[in-house]
Amino acid sequence: MSLKDTIDRTDLKILQVLQQDARISNQALADRVALSPSACLRRVRELEGKRLITGYHAHVAVDRIRAVTIVLAQVSFERHSPGHFGRFDQWVARTGEVVESWRVSGQYDYMLRVVVTDLHDWKRLMLEMMEGGFGVEKITSNFLMDEMKSFGGYPLAPSPAAG
Amino acid sequence: MSLKDTIDRTDLKILQVLQQDARISNQALADRVALSPSACLRRVRELEGKRLITGYHAHVAVDRIRAVTIVLAQVSFERHSPGHFGRFDQWVARTGEVVESWRVSGQYDYMLRVVVTDLHDWKRLMLEMMEGGFGVEKITSNFLMDEMKSFGGYPLAPSPAAG
DNA sequence: CCTGAAATCCACTATTG
DNA sequence: CAATAGTGGATTTCAGG
């Protein structure tokens, strides 16, 4: 709870607006949260400083710029040794095609979001993973057909329907 | 190919920079892509107009603001009828906890990214999906343990190692 | 499609409450 | 902590090549 006490309704509103429109001017943002520009700017800088805002990103329609195949890969490991995971994470970090990597609980260990040009490209990456000595046991891949709802920010407050 | 012809190296650079830092000033952006501020701004507006940039989003460390459990849910349907998919998509659209929904090929039909408060909250959503008359057959859920690499933009050019 | 100038608007700081 | 006001600098429009 230590952080939540330092955040008030106004900060939440700021985060909500910036999640939806990161390029809004500080003045317009100040208007929307009913604050003077200077007070608003100070809060934004504080939120950045506390790393509650960790970046601002343009969302690009990559499929309209280059040929892309988006793969959701479920990766399971033979053993759960930290060493293997660590080296795998390093490989992920330096591999630009892997745009997102999550450790998950369940039947598999990692869920990757990978952006490749085509199936041949994906095969190459799969080989790198299987033969990189990371202890990868199995990779199950699914291909994105259609983005029905794309990420536009987190719900910063629990839904009213929730407990 | 019709769109790719209308995009040059400078546009790509602009997209690349804005993917990483959407709040960069137009002047700094112009510097980075070796253009005058006015020319740069015009290109950005055009990229927005052509919907190659579809939004600007702040990335918020939601786990430091509220209690969250992030679920990756794989949903499969009894039948693949467009009507059921459509009504399911509508439910997804109005359900704020579902922050991302992908139609995929493979063993299951949808992959959802869901943000809930706790397991009880997730159970409620599962029930809504199973009993909403959408024809949902099975839901497999996995819980996010750790975000090892978080999304920071697409590779806008194919990797040199590819084909 | 660019540059460069001019006008408007905004970010940021200092000051004060 | 917030508001206000001032100034340096940025955004945006427009003329011209």
Residue type, B32: R
pLDDT at A34: 98
- Parts of chain B belonging to CATH 3.30.70.920: 62-143
Architecture of domain B62-143: 2-Layer Sandwich (3.30)
pLDDT at A2: 53
Identify all chain B residues contacting A59, using CB atoms and an 8 Å cutoff.
53-57
Strand D, nucleotides < 7 Å from a protein CB: these are 1-5, 9-14
As a whole number, mean pLDDT of residues B5-33 equals 96
Cβ(A99)–Cβ(A114) below 8 Å: yes
pLDDT band of A163, cuts 50, 70, 90: confident
Phi, psi of A102 (to 5 degrees): -120, 130
As a whole number, mean pLDDT of residues B31-57 equals 98
Predicted confidence (pLDDT) at residue A1 exceeds the cutoff of 60: no
Tokens of B144: 């996010």
CA distances from A139 to A78, A157, B148, B161 (A): 11, 35, 18, 21
Q: Which residue has the tokens 């909250």?
A: B121
Segment A102-131, tens digit of pLDDT: 999 998 999 999 999 999 999 999 999 999
- Parts of chain B belonging to CATH 1.10.10.10: 8-49
CATH of domain A8-49: 1.10.10.10
Verify whether the Cβ–Cβ distance A149 to B92 is below 8 Å. yes
As a whole number, mean pLDDT of residues B10-19 equals 98
pLDDT band of A92, cuts 50, 70, 90: very high
> Residues by CB within 7 Å of nucleic chain C, which ones?
A 25-28, 37-38, 41-42; B 10, 35-39, 42-43
Strand, coil or helix: what is A108? coil
pLDDT at A59: 98
pLDDT at B162: 84
Burial bucket for residue A69 (CB in 10 Å: 0-12, 13-18, 19+): middle
Report the predicted TM-score, pTM, of the whole model to 2 decimal places.
0.94
Distance (Å, rounded) from C-alpha B29 to C-alpha A92? 29
Cβ(B134)–Cβ(B80) below 8 Å: no
Task: Please give the residue of chain A at the shortest CA–CA distance from B67.
Answer: A158
pLDDT at A55: 97
pLDDT band of B119, cuts 50, 70, 90: very high
As a whole number, mean pLDDT of residues A1-25 equals 89
Q: Kindly provide the residue ranges of all beta strands, DSSP E only, lying in A51-149, ordered along the sequence.
A: 53-60, 69-77, 98-105, 110-116, 136-149
Residue type, B13: K
Predicted confidence (pLDDT) at residue A3 exceeds the cutoff of 70: no
Task: Kindly report the number of other CB atoms within 10 A of residue B148's CB atom.
Answer: 17
What is the least distance, in Å, from the CA of A79 to any CA of chain B?
A: 17
CA angle A30–B21–A23, rounded 5-degree value: 30
Distance (Å, rounded) from C-alpha B73 to C-alpha B143? 9
Burial bucket for residue B96 (CB in 10 Å: 0-12, 13-18, 19+): middle
